[in-house]
Structures are given as C-alpha cells and as structure tokens.
Chains A and B, each alone.
Chain A
Amino acid sequence: MPEISYREALNQALSEEMERDQRVFIMGEEVGYFGGAFKVTDGLLAIFGDKRVRDTPISELTIVGAGIGAAMGGLKPIVELMTVNFGLLAMDQIVNHAAKIHYMFGGNAKVPIVIRAPQGGGHQLGAQHSQSLEAYFLHCPGLRVIIPATPADAKGLLKSALRQEDPVIFLEHESLYGVKGEVPLGEHLVPMGVARTARTGKDVTIITYSKCVYDSMRAAEALENEGIDAEVIDLRTLNPLDLTTCVESIRKTGKAIIVYEGWKTGGAGAEIAAQLYEAAFDSLDAPIERVATRDLPMPYNKRLERAALPTPDDIVKIAERLV
C-alpha cells in the first residue's frame, strides 16, 4: 500500500469523488489558484476547472450559506473554511440553517454539504488561530462531526461524507497535514460511527481523536516501559459516536482517560465522560479523567503554548495515578 501524507490523502479523496460524481464541487477562500491555504486542494483547479474548484471572496457566512443553497438545489458542495476560527462567522448558517433544514421542514429538504475546516494549536499562531472547536458542532443536533487522525481515515471518511446526505463538519488538525501513512489506492470507504482501536491493552482505556491520537500512542509506549498496558481508541467521528467500543474497553480496563485538544470545560470529553458514566458506571474503578487544553485563550509564546496544550506527559502522569 502506498504511503502518502494526510494532505495528499484528502486531495486524493476530493479528486476521486469529483471524478465519480459531477455534482461534487469545492468552494472556499484560496482553494483554486492558490491551491488551498494548507495546499489540500492543490492541483485540482487544473484538472476540474474553475466551475468545480471555485475561489470565493472572504465572506464565510455566505460561502457556507451558498453551499447550503447549492446542496438544496441538488449539488454536493464541499466548502473549505480556511480555518475553523473563521468558521465562527458562519455559525448562523451552520447552526440555524444547515443543521435545522431537514427537520424543521418535516424531512422535505436535505442539505448534503461537507464543510471542511483545519483547526488546532501548536504553531504559535495566537489566540484567534489556534482553537479546536469540535464541541461547538457536537453540541448541535443535525450535524455530523468527523475528525480523522490518520491519512487512511482522512481519505476514507471524506469519501463516506460525500456519499451520505446530512450536513458534515469535517475537522482536520493543522499538525496532521504532513503526517504520512499507508492509504489504499482508489475506492476506500471508512464508515462513520465506527471507532478504531489503535492499540489494545488491558490496564487503562485512552479515548481520543485527531492529533491527540498520536500523543496518546506516545504516552502508551512510555507507559508500556513502566508495565502499564494502555488501550487507545481513536473515535474518528464524534457524531455519530461509537460509544459501544469505548464501553467494551472500559468493561475490560475499568479506567478511562479522554484526551482531546478542545478546552477542557464543556469539551467533547465532558460529553463522552457523561455518556460513559451513564452506560458503564458499574465497570469503572475510578473517576473518568480528562486531559485537554487549559481553559484560556492560546498564548503566542512557545513555552506558554506548550504548557496550555495536552501532552503525552500529561497522559502518562494521569495513567500512572489511575493504575
């Protein structure tokens, strides 16, 4: 199997789906001539032309709104937000429109839009460019939330997102674009709502997603040296959420740590923990722990930023205490 980057895997998925389905098109800021702010759409303009790879003005609200309208008109738009931070300008269209239209019109309308957005911290980009906002979207019924960690999942989940009819928020951590991994050529579909057990273990369950999968794997390796056998679960999608895989793991380990890069308070980990308490309280030997970003706007200084973000060391310390 060829080894390619997360960025290339996304590009491959886009290219294959546009080839397969004439209704699929991309629009967003700098997606065409510039090749995408993170070069995800690089080269697609030359293949598909500017009708299907459409540069837009800086108008996030209307880029997303026009995507929703195009989806209602029978197309399959992929809207790229340059980063999720700018996506906040489009929250009205995402939350009040995309998420509601199917339900509030009694099932008579559909909005098959995929909204892709890079997110995450760690690059000294400061408070307004370093957020992980998956919890905002997870909170809203009607939206699917996909947040892949590996290049293979990036490709397989993006392709799956384009073959279903709910509005999708597809979140890509900015640190992952260069990460390489084996990705199947051609048709490769990863189902939504099926978690991946990245590592099996018996002592503690680490539930995570996106970039934190890598931090958790590093922590698991460190823990192994201390004789602690950690299981790592990569959720892949937050909605639908594969709670079953998490519960089965907890029945085995009795302990759980949820690792994510959103703010700790009100983050996805809080919701997952609550659901696990409801589903598997009697299997838990200790309270569920959360390792997340500190509750503060991201500082620019490198040392401060590192201290704000979750690290493998943080995970190791919590696991040592639990086991």
Chain B
Amino acid sequence: MALEGEKLVAERALLTLGEAELLELYRRMILIRRFEDKTAEMYSRGKITGFCHLYAGEEAVAVGAIYALYDKDYVVSTYREHGHCLAKGANPRNVMAELFGKSTGISHGRGGSMHLFDAEKRFMGGYAIVGGGLPLSVGLALSNSYKEEPGVVCCFFGDGALPQGAFHESLNMASLWKLPVIFICENNHYGMGTLVQNAICQEELYRFAEPYKMPGVRVDGMDVIDVYKATVEAAARAREGEGPSLIEAITYRFRGHSMSDPAEYRSKREERIWQDRDPIKNLRRRLLGERHVPETRLEAIERDVTAVIDDAVKFADESPEPPVSELARDVYVE
C-alpha cells in the first residue's frame, strides 16, 4: 500500500518537528530575509553591482526543503540562490563578501550574486543559464549511485526552466536510471515578467512528473512545514533507490525579477495578497498561537540574526579586493 506508506512518512515528519526545530526553521527563514533586505540596501548604495536576484518571499521553499536533507546531500541551484546557499549552511560572511566581489567571498569574488559555491557544505553552485543546473544534478546523483553512497541531490529551479529541453531530458534520464534527485520547481508565477500560463501549456507544473513516471506534488511554498513534509517523502523515496520526484512549490517573490526590475507587470493588489501570506509571518503566527512560544524568544532570534547580518556586511566591507595579479588563476587546474 504505497499511499499508506507515504502518509506514514509524512505523519512522522510532522511529528518530528518539535518546538526547537520549528524555531530553527524560523531562524533560517529570517536569516535569509534579513540577508536579502540588507543586500537590497547595499545594492542601492553601490556596494553590490551586476545582476542580483533576491529570494525574499520564497524562503519557505529553500528552508523547508533543505531541512529535510542531511549535510552530505547535494544542493544545486540557480541565479536566485542566496537562500539555498545560506540554508545549506554557508557562512553569511563569505556569501555577503561574494556579493561585494571581495577575495574573501565564497567564490573569491569571481562569481558574484549568481555564482555561489560551497564544496564543504555540498552546495554545488548557482547557475545563471535557465535550466542549466538540472543536468548537473542528474550527474551528481549518478556519482552517488555509482559510488553506492546514500546521498540525494536536491535541485532547485524556477517555473521558467520548465519549457527548457534540459528539464525534460533531465527528468527522463533521472527516472530512467532511478537516480536520487529531488527536483524542486519554485513556481513564483513569473519567468522574469512572463506569466507561467503564457509560457507553458500545462500550468499545473507538478503534472510533468507523470509522463516521466515519478511522483509529482504541488505544495504551498509559503508554508515551510508543507515544503519540509513533501521533501522528506521525496528524500525517503530517493534514498530507498526508488528514483526521483518532482515537487512544485507555489510561491511568490516579493521583489522584481532582479534589482533592476520594478515589477510593473504585477498589480499592487496581487502583491498585497501574497505579502499577507508571508511565510515568515505565517510561521511566527503559528509559533505564538499554536505552540505558545513566548514572543521574547522570537525577538531574541531576530536580534541574533540581525547581528549576524550586520557582522557579515562589516566583514564584506572590510575585506580586500581580489588582486589583479590573480586575474588568470584557476582558468585551468594548476
């Protein structure tokens, strides 16, 4: 009885989230939000330049999914990857320093906002070609399966990646070879400024799982627990050698596509509706109302996160620029 089995796993997942864990989810989400708010501020002050795509509003997806993983599991992401990188455990200091283009940056100032990477945390990179990360996630999963290591690969991409050939080739190959990949589509309704329904014939994106013979679910991407539960199920399946899954998380970016986009294609009313569904406010309400956590504990977390972000900015600002003498280093392995 597969369905009952899946339900059981989901139940267990829900049961295992105690107060301490919920507070940790809250901390991670607010860390990302504060990081992104500060990034926007630093961008407008000219400290950060280039393309910069913020994750504010979508925190529940990265945090919920990655909380369902082990440290040894891989994460592959896109150019909107600050949240995934931080959720996987990267040091905010080095992430902010990368945005500042400094030598202490997580990619030594070579990558910038779109190309974060942390081998130790198994955050396998942000890629700025839409759909480009999906084939890499298939290969990372293949390496796990080849080495008979139990790890899974969690691959994040936007709704804009669905019409790419890479999406379809990757789902086919991962399913064909029963590879441990969790494909997570962050459906924030717009590929840049184009509505999903103007780009994809099937707007229920999770249904693309069916032709590739894998489970597909749609979850509330503004609810961290919902995302967590779905990822626990997908991860369990992957670890048992049953192959990949597709999760569609319905979410919303609170800012434009990038820092240079005022998002004039969206109505203020639509934005307000989604602001009311803010995943952080949502969890905060539940912690206070359902779990009776004292507000002072949440405030302590918020203060702590603010200090971490302020410290990250200070670190980034005071860090040295990469020397021009190292311009040509690492084009090839030396």
Contact = CB atoms under 8 A, between A and B. Distances in A.
Interface of A: 25, 51, 56-57, 59, 61-62, 64-75, 77, 92-93, 96-97, 101-110, 141-142, 144, 164-166
Contacts of B124: 69, 72, 109
B142 A73 contact: yes
Given A51-B146, A57-B176, A59-B169, A105 B140 contact: no
A106 B330 contact: yes
Contacts of B107: 104-106, 108
Contact of A71 (B108, B119, B132, B139): B139
Interface in B53-94: 74, 76
Interface of B: 74, 76, 105-111, 115, 117-119, 124-125, 127, 129, 132, 134-144, 146-147, 165-166, 169-170, 172-173, 176, 329-333
A74 B139 contact: no
B166 A61 contact: yes
Contacts of B134: 62, 65
Which 10 residue pairs of A and B lie closest in terms of their CB atoms, listed nearest first?
Answer: A69-B139, A65-B135, A73-B143, A106-B108, A105-B117, A62-B169, A107-B330, A66-B139, A69-B136, A59-B169
A103 B141 CA distance: 23
Contact of A142 (B105, B106, B142, B332): B332
A97 B136 contact: yes
Nearest to B109: A106
Contact of B332 (A59, A97, A166): A166
Given A61-B165, A65-B134, A105-B115, 9 more contacts: A59-B172, A61-B135, A65-B170, A69-B124, A69-B136, A69-B141, A70-B143, A106-B110, A109-B117
Nearest to A106: B108
B327 to A, nearest CB: 10
B92 to A, nearest CB: 17
A62 B135 CA distance: 5
Contacts of B144: 73
A59 B165 CA distance: 9
* Secondary structure type dominating chain B contacts: mixed
B132 A108 contact: no
A97 to B, nearest CB: 6
Given A62-B135, A106-B111, A97 B333 contact: no
B143 A62 contact: no
B108 A74 contact: no
A219 to B, nearest CB: 34
A66 B170 CA distance: 9
A165 B334 CA distance: 9
A108 B105 CA distance: 12
Contacts of A67: 139
Task: Pick the most buried of B111, B139, B142: most chain A CB atoms within 10 A of its CB.
Answer: B139
A57 B169 CA distance: 9
A105 B110 contact: yes
17 contacts: A51-B146, A59-B169, A62-B134, A64-B135, A65-B136, A65-B170, A68-B136, A69-B76, A69-B137, A69-B141, A72-B143, A102-B332, A104-B110, A106-B109, A106-B111, A109-B117, A166-B333
Nearest to B115: A104
B131 to A, nearest CB: 9
A56 B333 contact: no
A107 B76 CA distance: 18
A62 B170 contact: yes
A62 B172 CA distance: 10
A57 B170 CA distance: 11
Contact of A106 (B105, B172, B173, B332): B105
Given A59-B172, A65-B134, A65-B166, A103 B331 contact: yes
B108 A97 contact: no
Nearest to B74: A73
A64 B106 CA distance: 26
B108 to A, nearest CB: 3
A103 B135 contact: no
Task: Pick the most buried of A51, A77, A105: most chain B CB atoms within 10 A of its CB.
Answer: A105
A67 B146 CA distance: 12
A66 B138 contact: yes
B149 to A, nearest CB: 9
Contacts of A166: 332-333
Given A106-B107, A109-B125, A72 B139 contact: yes
A68 B115 CA distance: 16
Contacts of B172: 57, 59
Contacts of A69: 76, 124, 135-143
Given A102-B333, A106-B106, A109-B119, A70 B173 contact: no
Given A61-B169, A96-B129, A104-B110, A70 B139 contact: yes
Contacts of A141: 331
Contacts of B110: 103-106
B56 to A, nearest CB: 25
A109 B136 CA distance: 13
